Amino acid sequence: MAEFGLDLLVFVIQKASVLEIESFTSASIILIKADFRFPTTNQTRHCFTRYVEFHRCVAAKGDEAADCERFSKYYRALCPGEWVDKWNEQRENGTFPGPL
């Protein structure tokens, strides 16, 4: 599956009909249900929104809330690690541009 790359993964994410996250391989490829708010193949906004939703959930329900785990899995599946690292630094410094 590695030879198909990101285009196939984005297609699968958009066409997925699973209600919950489902892991298919030992490499932890995670598919999430298509979100009608993000109809295009560019998943940048989807990634950012899921990251913000996770941190809002944690702020409202606490670090150990099981309800927030799905948002964590969503943004970790969609977002590049470099972005997450940058956003985490920005949150710690109080310069994060999003509405937390």
At 43-78, the pLDDT tens digits run 888 899 999 999 999 999 998 888 899 899 999 999
Residue 91: its pLDDT value, please? 94
- pLDDT at position 17, please? 39
Query: Do 12 and 56 lie in a common domain?
Result: no
Q: Pull the structure tokens for residue 2.
A: 């590695």
What range defines the domain where residue 19 resides? Answer: 1-31
Q: Domain holding 72: CATH number? A: 1.10.10.140
Helix (H, G, I), strand (E, B) or coil at 51: helix
Question: Looking at the structure, do residues 8 and 53 belong to the same domain, yes or no?
Answer: no
* 94 Ramachandran zone, left/alpha/beta (phi>0; psi -120 to 50): left
Let me know whether 21 and 54 are in one domain.
Answer: no
Give the per-residue pLDDT at 37: 73
C-alpha dist (Å) from residue 23 to 27, 57, 73, 74, 80? 9, 23, 11, 12, 18
The full DSSP string for 60-100 is: HH-TT-GGGHHHHHHHHHHS-HHHHHHHHHHHHHT---S--
* pLDDT of 19 over the 50 cut: no
Whether residue 93 sits in one domain with residue 50: yes
Of the candidates 39, 42, 47, which has an alpha carbon nearest to the alpha carbon of residue 78?
A: 47
Query: Residue 35: pLDDT band by 50, 70, 90 thresholds?
Result: confident
* Structural domain count, the chain: 2
